[in-house]
Structure 1
C-alpha cells in the first residue's frame, strides 16, 4: 500500500459506522429488563413466618472489599425475637456510595439472609439517602407473615428454620 494511503485507511472504520442506524435506548421512558442474575440493590430476606434471616454474624461486612457494610448484632430475648437464632442484626447499613456490586457479601452470608435484587435505580441527589438502613433493606411482608418481633412458630426450633421446615400462617394445613 502506498505511504500516503495509510492515514486514509484509518478512517475506514469511521466511514463504515457513519451510515449505520443508531442504537438508541429510551431509558427513563422504556426500561429494558435486566439479566436474571444481575447484581442490583441488596435485600435482607425473611423466613416464611416473618422472622428475619439475618443473625448478625457480620460476615458480610468482613467480606466487603469496599467496606460498604456495617452490621451491629444484638441478642434475641424471649419477649423480643427478631430471628430464630440467638442473635439478630439490630443495625444494618449499606453505603451505596462505596458499594461496587461485587456480590462477595452474598457469598459470605451463612443463612442466605442477604441477596441482590434486579433494582438498579440507585441514583439520588442527597448523599445521606444512599446509605440504606435496615428498614429500607428488609424484604416486604408477604401474606401470612407477621412483623417481627414475635415468637418462633409453635413447636419449631432454630434448626427447623434453617432447614426450611417453617411455613407461613396461611400455608398451614
Structure 2
C-alpha cells in the first residue's frame, strides 16, 4: 500500500465505528454481578456456632508478597475463647492500599479462615478507611451463631471444629 493511503485507512476505521451504538455501562447506578469465582474483598470466616476460624498463626501475613496483612495472635483462655484450640487472631488488619489481590494469603491459611468475597468496591477518599480491621473483615453472624467469646460446644474438641462436626448454636453437635 502506498504511504499516503495509511492515514486514509485510519480514517476508514474511525468512520466505520462512528455509526455503531456505544457500549456504555451505567455503573454505580446499575451494578452487574461478578463472576462466581471473582476474588474481591477478604473475609474472616466463622465456625457454625460463631467461634472464629482464625487461629492467629500469621501464615497469611508471611505469604503476602505486598506485606499488606498484619496479624497478632493471642492465647485463648477458658473464660474468653474466640476460636477453638489454643490461639486466636487478636489483631487482624488488611491494608487495601497495598493488597494486590493475588490470593496467596487464602492458599496459606490452614483453617480456611480467610477467603475472598465477590465485593469489588474498595475505593475510598480516606486512606485510613482502606485499612480493614478484624471487625470489618469478620463474616456476618448467621442464625444460630453466638458472638465470640464463648466456650466450645459441650463435648467437643478443637479437632471436631476443624473436621466440620460442629453445627449451629453452641451446644449442638452432629
Q: Which residue of structure 1 aligns with residue 14 of structure 2?
A: 14
Secondary structure at 2:67 match in 1: coil
Structure 1 residue runs without a partner (length 5+): none
Secondary structure at 1:43 match in 2: strand
Deviations 1:52-84 (A, max 9, x none): 000001011011111100000001111111000
* 8 Å contact kept, 2:146–2:170: no
1:112 aligns with 2:99: no
Q: For residue 121 of structure 1, report the CA deviation from its aligned partner.
A: 1.2
CA distance in 2, matches of 1:17, 1:44: 47
CA distance in 1, matches of 2:129, 2:3: 59
Q: Which residue of structure 2 aligns with residue 83 of structure 1?
A: 83
Q: Which residue of structure 2 aligns with residue 27 of structure 1?
A: 27
Normalising to structure 2: TM-score of the pair?
0.94
* 8 Å contact kept, 1:144–1:169: yes
Structure 2 residue runs without a partner (length 5+): none
Q: Give the CA RMSD over aligned residues.
A: 1.6
* 8 Å contact kept, 2:82–2:150: yes
CA distance in 2, matches of 1:34, 1:14: 32
* 8 Å contact kept, 1:143–1:170: no
* 8 Å contact kept, 1:70–1:93: yes
Q: For residue 2 of structure 1, report the CA deviation from its aligned partner.
A: 2.9
Secondary structure at 2:159 match in 1: helix
Normalising to structure 1: TM-score of the pair?
0.95
Compared CA separation, residues 171 and 39, structure 1 to 2 (3 A): farther
